[in-house]
Amino acid sequence: MNPLSKLLNQQIRYNGPMSISQFMEICLLHPKYGYYTNSSPFGQKGDFVTAPEVSQMFGELIGLFLAQAWSDQKNLEEAVLVELGPGRGTLTADIMRVTKSIKNFPKKIYLLEVSAKLKLLQKSNLEGYQVEWIKNLNQIPPGPIILIANEFFDSLPINQYLKGADGWHERLIGIKNGELAFGISEQKLNIQSTEYFTHAVKGDIVEVRPSVEPIITEISNKISQWGGISLIIDYGCWDLKGNTFQAIKSHKYINPLEKPGEVDLTAHVDFSSLARSVLNCSISKLTDQGVLLERLGISERANILSRSLKADDLENHIAAHRRLTHPNEMGTLFKVMAILPKLSRMPLGL
C-alpha cells in the first residue's frame, strides 16, 4: 500500500465512503502525493503522449486555424491567448511560433495550470513570451480571448450515478477487505432530470463533471461580450454513456483504485454537457480530430516536412501523422468543438 492509499484508507474509515470526484481530486492534486504534484507524465518514458507531443504539425495547424478564425471576426480589440492545462507548454509554443508574423494574433499568454512542476516546464519552453499563470479564468482582463484546451477537461473530476431498481445511487469509493473498492450510496438520490437521466434504464451509469459548467459559463461570457474563439479538443463523444473512469500508467490501462497518486486518472468528455453550458454563443459541429487536421492540410504539411528527414526520423514522422489522424489511433476518438460569438460564420475546417 503506497502512502496515499494509507491516507485515503484513514480518511474513508473516519468519514465514510467518498465520491469519485473527491478521490480524483486527492489522487491528482494532493500537495505531497498527488499525480500532478510529482509526475512527469508526458512522452514515451512517461504515462501518455498528447497530440502536441506527437508532432509539431498539431500545434502549427491549430495555430493557423485560430489565426484565421480570429482574423475572420474582424475584431479590432486586442485578444489574448489562453491555454487550459498546458502540460509541457508545447502546444502554445508551436502556436506562437507559427503565428509569429501574424500582426493581430495575441502576444500575451495566460495559462491555467495547477501543477507547480509543469509550470516550471512551461516557463522554460515559453521563454521569451509574455506569459502569466492564473488560478481562475476571471483573472484574465476584459477583452477577447483565443482559448485552447487540449486534454484538459478529461482530467477534471467526475461523479458517477448508477440507476438501481429503486432509483439513482451515487457510486462511491469505500473499503472492502482492507482495500479501496467501489460501492454505491445507500440513500436514493434526487437527481435533476436532464435528458439522459430520464432515458436511463436499470444498471446504467451516468457521469457528471461538476466543474465544467462554471468554466464554460466564464468562457462563453467572455466570448459573447468581447469576441474570440475557444477550441476544445479531447477524447469523448456527444451524449456519453456508461462508465469511462480510467487510469493510465506507462501507456497501459490499470484499475483506477490501484496505486493512487502514481497514475493518471481521467474520464471521457461528454461534449453534449459542455454544449449545454454554453450561453449566448454559437458552437461548431463536433468534429473528429483526424477530419479537422486533414481539412487543415496536415498531409501537405507532412509531405513538406518529410523532405528533410531520413531513416528513423522519417519513419517516426510518418507514424506521427498516422497517429494524429488515423481512425484507429487519435483520429476519431478525439473530437473538436469550437465556441464562437453568436451567429459567427464557422471557421474553415469545422
CA dist., res. 293 & res. 57, Å (int): 9
The DSSP result for 304-344, as a single string, is HHHTT--HHHHHHHHHHHHHHH-TTTTTTTEEEEEEEETTP
**73 vs 325 by CB, closer to ligand SAH:** 325
Using the rule CB under 6 A, is 228 a contact of ligand SAH?
no
Stretch in the footprint of ligand SAH (CB under 6 A) among 50-58, 162-170, 178-186, 255-263:
50-58
- Shortest distance, CB of residue 331 to ligand SAH, whole angstroms? 16
Residue type at position 161? Y
d(CA 267, CA 198): 22
Residue 154 DSSP class:
G
Which range in 109-117, 166-174, 178-186, 312-320 contacts ligand SAH by CB under 6 A?
109-117
Cβ atoms of 198 and 204 closer than 8 Å: no
Q: How far apart are CA 287 and CA 238, in angstroms?
A: 10
Closest to ligand SAH by CB, 50 or 325: 50
39 interacts with ligand SAH by CB under 6 A: no
Interacting positions 110-139 with ligand SAH (CB under 6 A):
112-115, 118
Q: How would you label 89-104 residue by residue, b for 16+ Cβ within 10 Å and e otherwise?
A: bbbbbbbbebbeeeee
- Lookup: cell for 44: 514515451
* Pick 53 or 168: Cβ nearer ligand SAH: 53
**Using CA atoms, how far apart are residues 217 and 214, in angstroms rounded to an integer?**
5
**For ligand SAH, the closer CB: 155 or 344:** 155
Stretch that binds ligand SAH, among 83-91, 158-166, 221-229, 312-320 (CB under 6 A): 83-91
**Exactly one of 17, 52, 106, 144 binds ligand SAH (CB under 6 A); which one?**
52
Q: Least separation, in Å, of the C-beta of 151 and ligand SAH?
A: 4
Q: Which is nearer to ligand SAH, 42 or 105 (CB)?
A: 42
Q: Which residue is nearest to ligand SAH (CB)?
A: 85
48 exposure class (CB count in 10 Å sphere: 0-12, 13-18, 19+): middle
Angle between helices 90-98 and 116-125 (to 10 degrees): 20
Rg of the chain over Cα atoms, rounded to whole angstroms, equals 21
Residue 87 lies near ligand SAH (rule: CB under 6 A):
yes
**Per CB under 6 A, does 245 bind ligand SAH?**
no
Binding pattern for the stretch 259-298 against ligand SAH, x by CB under 6 A and - elsewhere: ----------------------------------------
- Three cell numbers at 110? 495566460
Task: Tell me the backbone φ, ψ of residue 334, rounded to 5 degrees.
Answer: -85, 135
Number of residues that bind ligand SAH (CB under 6 A): 18
DSSP-assigned letter for residue 245? -
Give the x/- contact pattern for ligand SAH in 152-191, rule: CB under 6 A.
Answer: x--xx-----------------------------------
- Which residue in 150, 159, 244, 284 binds ligand SAH (CB under 6 A)? 150
Q: Is there binding between residue 248 and ligand SAH (CB under 6 A)?
A: no
By CB under 6 A, residue 60 contacts ligand SAH: no
Residue 331 has φ and ψ, to the nearest 5°, of -55, -45
Q: Which residue has the cell 479531447?
A: 234
Name the residues that contact ligand SAH, by CB under 6 A: 36, 50, 52-53, 85-87, 91, 112-115, 118, 150-152, 155-156
